[in-house]
Structure 1
Amino acid sequence: MMSSYNYDEFSTSDYDFDRIDGVDLGGKAKDFMLETTDGEIRRLLDFSGEFLVLEMGSRTCPLFQSRRNIMQPLEREFSNLSFAVLYVREAHPGSNIPGHKSFEDKATCARQLKEADGETRTVFIDTFEGLAHQAYGSMPNAVFIINKNGCVVFRSDWNNPSSTRKALRELVEGRPITARSFFLPAVPTVAIRTMKNAGKGSAADFFKGLPFLVWTNIFKRNWRLLFKKPAQYSGETLC
């Protein structure tokens, strides 16, 4: 039996897709003292770049793994910004990469993200109970852009790298953000590889919840977003 935050098997009931809590768009970002995969203890919001691009992820999240090949080059394209990953609970645990039973389990997985999967960004390891993750809404692959005032100027419950890139381009050019982040499914080959690496049980739980995920995110969420006016925050936003 695991904590209420960590789980052995994925279920859609582990997430509230209709009501996303956590830091608000335009609100103050939450700061935490966290360990990195390099063994340093750092403040999450102690960043040197003009903005911080913070993405939630885990090794067993097909969406996160699908986005990495696009997000990592953004770090080179926007070299004056700071990029980081917050390592959270395993999205689709399996026999090879099970749900975390201790902080060391989580730290080991985070280090494997760097060493085995080749992640190049700074990786912060969340607490075992997921305190930072829950403060940022608990979604498995959310992304946030935070300005030097500590304000969230862009957030998406699901990272769409093209929209994230557009938002960054608007910010560095001094324009308000108009980007809207529509949900895109994981790349099939990456999803299969991710769940194969996770081990037995990962794919079965994923496909069990797939119809609900498709309806909730591809149809319901994207339809709502289509008619929602962008908030248009900027680098100068105060909170």
Structure 2
Amino acid sequence: MHKTPPNVPANLYQAFVRNRMVRTPIRFVRGILDYKTDPAVEMDDFDEFLSVGDPAPEFTLQTVDGESFSLSDHRGEYVVLEFGSYTCPMYRRQIRGMARLATDWADSDDVTFALVYQTEAHPNQGQFLDVDNPDTYDGRRRLAERLVAEEDVPMTVLVDDVPRNVSTKYGGAPNMVYVVAPDGTIAYRALWTDAMEVGGFLEATVRASH
């Protein structure tokens, strides 16, 4: 059992434990805490923000290719909605696992995967990536395009607006993940993305229904 270090939230440290990052220097762990959520939504309040069974907040965003994506257009299927950015180490830790998961479900008509690219978690911090936090939509879109090109992300990539309106609706955390059910309600949610947990949920929920 790993003991949570002082001044590090237990839920954050347990995410590192699940991702086999317990040997990561504590300064790195505490660096995650510098991420600024919306003033009305702190990460400690995430568990009380939206619950399983609540209606998923509706939104329409543009993909990196300029196409429109509305959550309501995907009623009747499960939507895996991950949030992340180029400089979020927790997101980058899960890129390959989520890519495999999206590829595994690519031929299914029951599941759609989407990444909401939001504000940079750690801009201009060398221990992560030396990337600015754009103050324009086009700047954010270009970073999302760079991510897709360099990491070969096999899912729909949506670009949140500069005020992070969609991210804030869902809790404002840097690498949260939701699964929206076919009826538009929240079926699964987690403060930090874990590809194995998301995959297990889909296997138990979607495949089991066939």
- Return the TM-score normalized by structure 1: 0.64
Greater CA drift, 79-88 or 47-56: 47-56
Aligned partners of 1:124 and 1:41: how far apart in 2?
9
* Counterpart contact for 1:23–1:135, Cα < 8 Å: no
Q: CA deviation at 1:78?
A: 2.3
Equivalent in the alignment of 1:53: 80
Q: Unaligned stretches of 5+ in structure 2?
A: 1-30
Give the percent of matched residue pairs that are identical in Structure 1 and Structure 2: 27
Which of 135, 138, 142 is the matching residue for 2:169?
135
Which of 151, 171, 174 is the matching residue for 1:117?
151
SS at 1:38's partner residue?
coil
SS at 1:83's partner residue?
strand
Which of 43, 46, 58 is the matching residue for 1:31?
58
- Detail structure 1 runs of 4+ shifted over 3 Å in the superposition: 9-13
**Residue 59 of structure 2 is aligned to residue 14 of structure 1:** no
* Counterpart contact for 1:35–1:42, Cα < 8 Å: yes
Q: Summarize the alignment of residues 67-106 of structure 1 with structure 2, pairs less than 5 Å apart.
A: 67-79=94-106, 80=108, 81-94=111-124, 96-106=130-140
Equivalent in the alignment of 1:215: none
Aligned partners of 1:40 and 1:22: how far apart in 2?
30
Equivalent in the alignment of 1:227: none
SS at 1:19's partner residue?
helix
* Counterpart contact for 1:22–1:135, Cα < 8 Å: no
Aligned partners of 2:134 and 2:69: how far apart in 1?
22
Which of 172, 179, 182 is the matching residue for 1:145?
179
SS at 2:121's partner residue?
coil
Q: Unaligned stretches of 5+ in structure 1?
A: 1-8, 176-239
* Counterpart contact for 2:123–2:131, Cα < 8 Å: yes
Q: CA deviation at 1:14?
A: 2.1
Indicate how the Cα distance of structure 1 residues 33 and 94 shifts in structure 2: closer, same or farther if over 3 A, else same: same
SS at 1:145's partner residue?
strand
Q: What root-mean-square deviation, in Å, do the aligned CA atoms of Structure 1 and Structure 2 show?
A: 2.3
Q: CA deviation at 1:44?
A: 3.2
